[in-house]
Structure 1
Amino acid sequence: MTGEALARAIAAELVREGFPRVPAQILLQLMVEPTGTATAAGLADSLGLSPAAVSGGIKYLDVLGFIRIDTVPGSRRHAYSLPAVPWYSSTLMQDRYGPLRALIDAGLADVEAGPARERLSEMSDFFRFLQGEMPRLWERWRASRPADEA
């Protein structure tokens, strides 16, 4: 199986797991690009997507911190690449749950006692737990890597 065929298969699996299709395709295309970098036109061409689809996918991946956006020297075009910390690892370092937890906690006082309040409180507790565990997972991951990769 070629790298591009594997990238398509992985992207399809991510889509089956609920990840949006175009961002999955873009992300995996960048994974198999020899330089790890591509322009919007290059992504559109290699994936058979419209420029608008690529633009939307790039915005989605940028919000998640899964890609890096640079300007092509001497032009106004952008080049998209993978960040120094791989996207699958960077998810452990980002506090994605703090704002949601804060919203839940702020609103809990207005929810009457009962099953709904208990479920919302447990949800907040779960996000607090994840927020505390993610940095530990990151450290364990880094410690498991060879010294030259850490």
Structure 2
Amino acid sequence: MPARVLAYALADDADRYTAGDLARGLGVSPAAISGAVRYLVQVGFFVREREPGTRSDLYVLDDQDLWSRFVSAELTSLDRFVQAIDSGVEVLGVERPGGRRLAETRDFMAFLRVEMTGVLARWPAERARLAADRGEVTSRRSG
């Protein structure tokens, strides 16, 4: 359900929704939306706001540099994953098949971490170039 809610919000022209708005848009019950928006707030795709004078939460799609923010946050998880795998390699040793597989997994994830850091560093210039090719003004979006 979080993927459906996110896909709907990305494709829709609005940038703020109540749970009822999302439920109607997706043709599901508001109860089905609850866990999805809670997760999307937790990972930073939505920001929860309260409109003055109402009891309903509004879920605002925080689309400013959405994907590089998401990937940056995931790099922290990747670091923890590499550290955990490294502990397993130390316990098993690389002489055993399981230890070799863990070592290769650790090395690949560490390589991926370095590469993704480079991609994130290059993204602002690429984003600006693509926007310019499309004739878009990008002053609202930074970094």
Place the TM-score, normalised by the shorter chain, in its bin.
0.7 to 0.9
Q: Retained in 2: the 8 A contact 1:40–1:54?
A: yes
Q: 1:28 to 1:70 in 2, by over 3 A?
A: same
Total equivalences in the alignment: 129
TM normalised by structure 2 equals 0.75
Q: Which has the larger radius of gyration?
A: 2
Q: How does 1:77-88 map to 2 (within 5 A)?
A: 77-88=56-67
Q: Retained in 2: the 8 A contact 1:92–1:135?
A: no
Segments of structure 1 that go 5 or more residues without pairing to the other structure are 1-21
Q: 1:99 to 1:118 in 2, by over 3 A?
A: same
1:57 corresponds in structure 2 to: 36
- Match for residue 107 of structure 2 among 125, 136, 141: 125
Q: 1:34 to 1:130 in 2, by over 3 A?
A: same
- Match for residue 105 of structure 1 among 75, 80, 86: 86
Q: 1:25 to 1:86 in 2, by over 3 A?
A: farther
Segments of structure 2 that go 5 or more residues without pairing to the other structure are 129-137
Q: How large is the Cα RMSD of the aligned pairs?
A: 2.2
Q: Retained in 2: the 8 A contact 1:67–1:87?
A: no
Q: Retained in 1: the 8 A contact 2:88–2:102?
A: no
Q: CA deviation at 1:82?
A: 1.9
Residue type of the alignment partner of 1:114: R
Identity %: 33
Residue type of the alignment partner of 1:103: A
